[in-house]
Amino acid sequence: MSFGDERIKQKKSLSQVFLKTDWPVRKVVERLQSLHITRVLEIGPGGGILTRALIEQPWKVTAVEKDHRFAEKLEDYYAAKKDELRGSLTIVNKDVLKFDLEEWLNESNEPTAIVGNIPYAISTPIVMWVLPYLHRVKGVEFLVQLEFASRLAGVAGTKDYGSLSVYAQLRAQIQIECKVERTCFTPVPAVDSALVFIKVRAQVLPDEFLRKVESVARVSFTQRRKKLRNAIRQFLADDALQGCPIDLNRRPDTLTPEEYVELTKFIYSD
């Protein structure tokens, strides 16, 4: 990926696959404009194609980049261009999973969004890292592997649906906005990607209870092709299943997130 005339070799170990076309960038900027934000956290700016578009807007941008080479190049770019830009840029050379999101959010009450072209290898940890803070941001716009996006937004009864779907959808509204072909990236990956918009649900259950739901869903999906009662035996004996609101002859992948909530309430009713 180039900055000016100098090229930096991407690292496979960091899943560095960068956009080389700007139409997905324009869609991200349009989404943020619709949210009327003034502050943005960008995860993994890499070659900076999205970063450059963000700081052309009147926004305060914080970019968290693990690779010191790209962090330094972004510093150089901003130093050279900042007098021409409407926005500001702070670059943090750090693994985003070690970045204190709560502390960053506490620094300002401004309307905020989180964006990023998320490395394939750590997509799940990053989404898990963000979900608890959705109520404090206007929205999250991620570019992720298409298969991962499909799992986040998976519908009961489909092959994409799993415990991750239940986990995410009980905390968030998830919208797959569009597919982004693999040819839009360099190096060209083996899979396509998608832009996903995530925002907090109107009503979210308490975290302690949601963790119980997730435990029930996770255990159930380890036997997704079998009857639900096989998995539920790990939580309740057969003689305690009388009156369960969910038909335990169903398969785990047919239950909606809301039905997993009902099942968990029954399991922990005492």
Helices (DSSP H) in 48-145: which residue ranges? Answer: 49-54, 68-81, 101-106, 123-130
pLDDT of 4 strictly over 80: no
pLDDT band at 187 (very low <50, low <70, confident <90, very high): confident
Provide the CATH number for the domain around residue 18. 3.40.50.150
pLDDT of residue 212: 96
**Rg, C-alpha atoms of the chain:** 21
pLDDT of 140 strictly over 80: yes
Asked if the structure places residue 5 within a domain, the reply is no
CB atoms within 10 A of CB 47: 22
Which pair of structure tokens corresponds to residue 18? 């960068």
| Same domain as 171, residue 105 | yes
Q: With H, G, I as helix, E, B as strand and everything else as coil, classify residue 190.
A: coil
pLDDT tens for 26-74 read: 999 999 999 999 999 999 999 999 999 999 999 999 999 999 999 999 9
| Same domain as 175, residue 216 | no
Q: In terms of residue numbers, what domain contains 126?
A: 10-200
Asked if the structure places residue 50 within a domain, the reply is yes
pLDDT of residue 15: 53
Summarize the confidence of residues 196-215 as an average pLDDT.
95
pLDDT band at 147 (very low <50, low <70, confident <90, very high): very high
pLDDT of residue 10: 53
* Number of compact structural domains in the chain: 2
- Alpha carbon separation from 240 to 54, 158, 198, 258 (Å, rounded): 56, 30, 38, 22
Summarize the confidence of residues 19-26 as an average pLDDT.
95
Mean pLDDT in the chain? Answer: 92
pTM for the full model?
Answer: 0.90
